[in-house]
Structures are given as C-alpha cells and as structure tokens.
Chains A and B, each alone.
Chain A
Amino acid sequence: MDLYEYQGKQFFATYGIPVSPGEAVRTVDEAVAAAERIGYPVVVKAQVQVGGRGKAGGIKLADDVHQVRTHSEAILGMDIKGHTVEVVWIELASDIAEEYYASFTLDRSAKQHLGMLSAQGGVEIEAVAESDPDALAKIWIDPVDGLTEEAARAWVAAAKLNPDATEGTVDILRKLYTAYTEGDADLTEINPLILTPTGAVHALDAKVTLDGNSVFRHPDYEQYEATQVRDEREQAAHEKGLQYVGLEGYVGVIANGAGLAMSTVDIVNQVGGKPANFLDIGGGANADVMAGALEVITNDPNVRSIFINIFGGITKGDEVANGIVTALGRVDITVPIVIRLDGTNADAGRAILEPHLSAKLQLAPTMVEAAEAVVAAAGARS
C-alpha cells in the first residue's frame, strides 16, 4: 500500500520523527483556513503518488492568504502525469541549509534490511547512485539485531553530512528504522531530509509503502486501503477479492494461479495480441469466483474476447468446468470466450463443456492454440 505524502508524514509523526506542521485539505476554502491556522509562509503541495510534482507546478510557496487561494485553486484538480490532484497538503515553509536523503527497504538478495543515506538529497536518488555511488552510504541490518545507536552513528559518519546534523540525523534514522520495522513498511524514505540554518533536522517529504500482508496487526491500515490509487476495473476486482491488474489491451485474461496468469498474459502478447488484464482467481475456481471474474472482465469496454486458462490440480477439471457453465449462465457475455482446460480430470471437464461450445465459446487443447484462437476472435469482431 502506497501512502500519500500527508499520510506518510502523519505516519512518521506517530513514531516521533519531526515533520513540519501541516494539514491535508480538499477545497480552496479549507486550504485558506488551514494556512491561517498554521501561519505564513506555507507550502501548497499536490498529493499524488507520482514523482516530478515540483516540475509540474504542483508545489508552490505562499506568503499570504491571496497566494494560498491562487495556488490551491491552480493545484486542486490539476493533472500530474495522469493523476488528478484531489488533496493538497498545506505546511509551514522551512528554511533549508542542506538537503539529505535517507531510506530503509528490504534487500531481497542479502535477505537483510538496507539503509541508505546521502548528503546529496532532494534529487532522484537513482541518479546519485549512478553518477556518484560513493555519495550513498549503505548499511545492511540484520533484523534480529536491529539498528543500534553505535551502528547508526558510524553510518552517519560514513555519509559525511554536516557535523551539525549528526545528532539530529542519528535520532531520526533510529526512529525511521522503528517506523519501518514496527510499522511493517516495505519502504520508508525521506527525500529531502533537511538541516535548517538553526541546526534542526527534519523530514520535508515522506514516501511510505506498507506491507498489505501486515494489516492483521495494524487494523488502522484499513484507512489506507480506501485511498489506494486504482482504476475503475481494479477497484471492482478488489471489491470482489480478486487479484487483478489492469493492462492496456483487449483480450481479457482469467487464470487460476498467479504464475499461470502471468504466463497467460505473456503468451497472448507472444502471439500478437494485447491483454486487457492480469487476473488470478486462485486454486479453487468455483462458480461464484468465476462469475465474479467474468463480471469484472466484461465491465471493461476494451475487452473484445476472453481467455480462460485453467490448470486442474487439487481442484479437478470437471469441477472447474461445472463452475464455468454455471457462471456463464449467470453473467451476460457478448464477446467470444476461449477456454483452455488441462490437468486433473481435464477430459471429464472438456466433456462437460462440449455441449455448450459454439463460435462464442471455444475450447483449445494447449495454451498456445488457445492464445491464437482468442486473439483471432478479438480481431474478427473489431
């Protein structure tokens, strides 16, 4: 789950990480009221989950009430790389002496946590990593040990920050690590982490990704579920509990298992088609799940044909076939469907589908042949 900046800052604040006082608002009047409470100057920041907000004009400094009004009018509703700004964050402007970068994430290869700290903040960290790798001080942390103060100190020294920033940075890094681990985050990133002219260190931005698998011990994370950026199709699938990713094409894809679904998307591309989605209905594949999947797929106006790719394992092919037949009776489908059914009891399953076959409902023996048939079926209608 990706958090917006304002959510990330509120998340940081609960772990004692210093952030600027601010408020998240949805209207110009609310923006003005917030600025009046906070005091000037304020920064009006567009809340979108995409980089390059500043360049797009989504971050503006306001010295007075008129500027807050003008800037929030311009920014609310603005389109930034396909994301519409619905919320702006109004915060007290900070004096900046220096800008740093700090983050924690999981290094899947080392199977330890990776902390990264740089004296070159406020820019794309990937660019720093490429142009000046020595400017990025890295620390690998064994999750069993955690980040000790001693290790944090040595790490800050290695990053060669301004000595005035040492104490504040050590403190923030330890709190950021706690937020990362106790908060079950995939990523906690501060860019920039700033040193002010008076020697204070604090987080001027917040990028946080939380692990959706941890919601059982963080019931408050439900609030972030509601603000996830999903297209309409993804939202509908999410409500049905289906694993769905929207794509740009016109062949609807349903498969049982994440790997098989990925493979199905690949094979549609390989035979010259364009998949409309990735959809994993899991191992069970009963009539209810299948009907839900078909509803989600057919609600996408770009879909011109549907590829159902099922491999029977524990769930037998005949059970899946019965599920498909029942689901087809419940969902009104106008586009052609091609089914590939293989694995356990596949013959019995195909026999169940046999009487229902037509130009609109075909059965293909292999994944490749099914992909070719479903792409051809999509073309025939367009």
Chain B
Amino acid sequence: MAIFVDEKTKVVYQGLTGSQGRFYGLLNRDYGTQVVAGTNPKKAGTDVDGVPVYASVADAVEATGATVSCIFIPAPGVKDAVIEAAGGGVKLIVAITEGVPAHDEAWFFNKLKRDFPDVQLLGPNCPGIISPGKCNIGITAGHIAKAPVAGKPNVGIVSRSGTLTYQALYELKLNDIGVTTCVGIGGDPVPGTSFIDCLAAFEADGDTKAVMMIGEIGGSAEEEAAAFIADKMTKPVVSYVAGVTAPAGKKMGHAGAIVSGGKGTAAAKQEALQAAGVRVGQNPTEAGTLMVEVVNGL
C-alpha cells in the first residue's frame, strides 16, 4: 500500500512540452509512472516522445482517465493552471513550480477548499511525491528510494525540503528500510497539503509502520503536526528540523523558511515534537539512525 499515488495512478503533465516538464515527465515515465498525457492549448494533437498532448486538462482527463495532474508551468501561470486542473476533473494536483507569489497560493488554496473540496493540492514549490517501486511524480531521483518490502516494517516520509527529502530517502535505503510513500509538501508559506494531511494518511495506511517527518524553520506547521501526533497517532514518528542556528529575519532559501518576531524557531518546533513523543534527531543522519532503532524495535 501507499498513500495518495500508486502503480494504477494516471498522470497528466501541465507543461509537458516545456524543457522542465519534458525532462522530468519522461524521467517519471521511465520510472514506471503512468504518464498518460500532457497539455498545451497550442500543441493539442502532437505528442512528447509518444505521450499525447491535449488542449486542456479536461480533454486529457476525458481521453485518458488521468486522476492526477503534475504542474511544470512557470510561476506566472500556476494560479490558472491549478484552477484548470481542478475544473478539469483530477483529484490530486502536484505543483512543482517554485517562485509562485504568496497571494496566488493563498487565493487558490481557499478557492479549491470552497469550490473543489475533493481536490487535493500538493505544493507549490515541492519535489513531488514518490511511492517507491510504483509511481514517481515530480523531480525526485527515483533510484535513491528503496521500495517497501512485504513483511518488513516500511516507513513513510513527509518533508518541507527537497534535498533533505532525498537525503532521508537515501539514509533509509542505506539502512535497508523500505519506504511506502515519500511526500514533499514544499517550502512555501501556503502549502496545499500539510504535514497533518500526510500524517493522517500514513496513520491509516496498513503498510506504513513509522513516519519520518522533516521540518524547517518558519510558520507553525511543525507545532500543529506535534499536536496531531500527540492526539491521533499510534505509529512512531522520527523528526529532524532544519535551521536550528538560522538568524532571525532572514529567508533561508525557501520563501517560508524565516524566523520572525521570535516565532518559527527550530528549537520551539523540536520541543513541541519531543513533547508529543516524537524522537528528534539533530541532523539528518542522526534522524536516520533513530529511525533504524524505531524500525528494529517494531
């Protein structure tokens, strides 16, 4: 089992005809993902290395039965692309694009909630989602992830950072631990999918026995996740929070990674997580080691 996406998932790529969309869309197909369509209103009827291109997400959904859209559209077009995807009938939208204005993100988050309550958005500014061995949507290098092994304790990963997601997948692979699904929720101020959405899905997934959660400075998503873990989770959670020593008032690469007015510090997040029973590593490797201990104890 996996959460959100698996081997049956059919994916349409908005922006497949662009350089990024083509590069990652075809890599995703090589991995085994069912890359069934691309969209481009000016190139409908053509194809990208055999993947048919349709004028709109609605056309692609009708022709192929796609249930997920992956967005590689440049930032100025993401707002329209998200609404087009939701209106077009997909159930999950994975927005990889970085640099989307925060006001656009706040707007389409609330628009989806109101007009398309059944549609889930992941991102923007995220690496995407991979259910190792089954489906890879986005920019994660599939071969650094170990597929889940039947009869063994497999874990789920949820992360705000791209490279630390890869690091986590890799640490688990080195330790021979399989991953059911790894979700990169992205580093922006208004992520479509939250830690809590993923934790709840992992809690409900029979094959996921523990969860690795990677946070970073800024906002209060980790504190909210800690409250959820304390109240609702029975499965063990291991965490790492990046930016312990980040200076206040400076954006550390990600738009959402900023300590402001004494709020959003890594220390406060670590404390909240520890109070919720989460084992917190001081660096990615330590978190990996803690996960090995957790898995060995299962």
Residues on A lying within 8 angstroms of B by beta carbon are: 106, 108-109, 111-113, 126, 142-144, 181, 184, 186, 211, 213-214, 216-217, 243, 245, 247, 255-263, 265-267, 269-270, 275, 278, 280, 283, 311-314, 342-344, 366-368
Q: Does B203 contact A (CB under 8 A)?
A: no
Residues in B neighbouring A344, C-beta threshold 8 A: 141, 143-144
User: Within 8 Å CB of A367, what residues of B?
Assistant: 283-285
B151 part of interface (Cβ distance < 8 Å): no
B199-220: contact bitstring with A at CB < 8 Å (1 yes, 0 no)? 0000000000000001011111
A311 contacts B246, C-beta separation under 8 Å: no
- Contact check, B75 vs A262: say whether CB atoms are below 8 A apart: no
Number of B positions contacting A (CB below 8 A): 62
| A275 CA to B246 CA, complexed, in Å | 10
State which of B65-73, B87-95, B255-263 sits at the interface with chain A.
B255-263
Q: Are B106 and A262 in contact (CB under 8 A)?
A: no
Q: Are B102 and A213 in contact (CB under 8 A)?
A: yes
Closest to B220 in A: A109
Q: How far is the CA of A186 from the CA of B255 in the complex (A)?
A: 11
Q: If A214-B103, A262-B243 touch, does A313 touch B253 (CB 8 Å cutoff)?
A: no
Distance to closest chain A CB from B83 (angstroms): 11
B251 contacts across to A, CB distance below 8 A: 245
Q: Which of A211, A216, A259, A262 gathers the greatest number of chain B CB atoms within 10 Å?
A: A259
Task: Report yes or no: A181 in contact with B103, Cβ–Cβ below 8 A.
Answer: yes
Shortest CB distance A131–B (Å): 16
B43: CB under 8 A from chain A?
no
Tell me the minimal C-beta distance from B76 to chain A in angstroms: 5
Asked whether, in the complex, the Cβ of A259 is within 8 Å of the Cβ of B144, the reply is no
Within 8 Å CB of B285, what residues of A?
A: 366-368
Decide: A259 near B111, CB < 8 A? Known: A108-B190, A109-B224, A214-B103: no
Q: Which of B8-16, B156-164, B271-279 makes up part of the contact surface? A: B156-164
Alpha-carbon distance A256/B187, docked complex (angstroms): 15
> Cβ of B117: which chain A residues have Cβ within 8 Å of it?
none
Q: Does the CB pair B110–A112 fall under 8 Å?
A: yes
A232 CB, nearest partner CB in chain B, Å: 16
Interface of A is mostly: mixed
* 19 pairs, CB–CB < 8 Å, chain A vs chain B: A106-B190, A144-B110, A184-B103, A213-B99, A213-B100, A213-B255, A259-B167, A259-B214, A260-B161, A262-B161, A262-B246, A263-B164, A263-B242, A266-B245, A278-B252, A283-B162, A312-B141, A313-B163, A314-B139
Chain B residue at minimal CB-CB distance from A113: B106
- CB atoms of A263 and B284 under 8 A apart: yes
Distance in angstroms between the alpha carbons of A243 and B27 in the assembled complex: 27
Contacts of A108 in B (CB 8 A): 189-190, 218-221, 256
Q: Which residues of A contact B152 (CB under 8 A)?
A: none
Evaluate contact between A144 and B114: CB separation under 8 angstroms.
yes
Spell out B's residues near A (CB within 8 Å). 24, 27, 75-76, 99-103, 106-107, 109-111, 114, 139-141, 143-144, 159-167, 170, 187, 189-190, 214, 216-221, 224, 240, 242-247, 250-257, 261, 266, 282-285
Chain A contacts for B102, CB-based, 8 A: 106, 184, 186, 211, 213
Known contacts A108-B189, A109-B220, A109-B224: does B253 contact A261 (CB below 8 Å)?
Answer: yes
Closest residue of chain B to A109 (Cβ to Cβ) is B220
Q: Do the beta carbons of B110 and A111 come within 8 Å of each other?
A: yes
Q: What chain B residues lie within 8 Å of A216 (beta carbons)?
A: 75-76
Is A142 within 8 A of B110, CB to CB?
yes
Minimum CB–CB distance from A50 to chain B (whole Å) comes to 10
Residue of B nearest to A256 (CB): B163
Q: Tell whether, in the assembled complex, residue A314 and residue B27 are in contact, meaning their CB atoms are under 8 Å apart.
A: yes
- Collect the chain A residues with CB atoms within 8 Å of residue B189's CB: 106, 108
What is the CA–CA distance of A368 and B287 in the complex, to the nearest angstrom? 13
With known contacts A144-B114, A213-B99, A247-B247, A258–B253 Cβ distance under 8 A: yes
Q: A142-B110, A213-B255, A262-B242 are known contacts; what are 17 more A-B pairs with Cβ within 8 Å? A: A106-B102, A144-B111, A217-B76, A217-B101, A245-B251, A245-B252, A257-B161, A257-B162, A259-B159, A260-B161, A265-B245, A266-B283, A280-B253, A283-B162, A283-B163, A313-B141, A343-B141
A358 to B143, CA, bound (A): 32
Chain A residues with Cβ below 8 Å from B114 are 142, 144
| A19 shortest CB reach to chain B, Å | 23
Q: Is A262's CB under 8 angstroms from B27's CB?
A: no
CB contacts (< 8 Å) of A106 on chain B: these are 102, 106, 189-190
